Amino acid sequence: MNNIPLEACLAVSTIMFFAGVYGFLSRKNMLMVLVSLELMLNAADLNFVVFNRYLFPNQMEGMFFTLFAVAIAAAETAVAIAIIINIYRNVKSVYIDENITTMKN
């Protein structure tokens, strides 16, 4: 890794993040929105790790932040998928449109 610049790693995570932004804004399917959300979270995790490695290589704050972010992302995905399955059971559709106006039945 001696001759890989910091900018290359940051460019990778920037492309990942804005692919996630595009998907988040342009898809109507809730599971696709969740996929885009995972892309954005993953890009942020990669940024934390890369900055930790290049700027402060003898500390591990960025690594632990990423560790906890991965755990929280898994929990968030589990709850989101439970909500999506519940919505599918109620309205027989997983699209974000006009038939999802009330969550409480």
Partner 1 sequence: MIEQIIFYALAAIIAICSVLAVTTRKIIRSATYLLFVLLSTAGIYLLLSYHFLAMVQIAVYAGGVMVLFIFSILLTHQPGVDVQFEKPGRMVLSGLAALAGLGLCGHIIYHNVEKVYQYVDFGEIEMTKIGFALMGTDKYQYLLPFEAVSLLLLACIIGAIMIARKR
Q: Which of residues 47-86 bind partner 1 (CB under 8 A)?
A: 49-50, 53-55, 57-61, 63-64, 66-68, 70-79, 81-86
Q: Is 42 in the site for partner 1 (CB under 8 A)?
A: yes
Could you tell me the smallest distance in angstroms from the CB atom of residue 40 to partner 1?
10
The three-state (H, E, C) secondary structure of 53-101, written as one string: HHHCCCCCHHHHHHHHHHHHHHHHHHHHHHHHHHHHHHHCCCECCCCCC
Q: Is 99 in the site for partner 1 (CB under 8 A)?
A: no
What phi and psi values does residue 49 have, to the nearest 5 degrees? -65, -40
Q: Is 22 in the site for partner 1 (CB under 8 A)?
A: yes
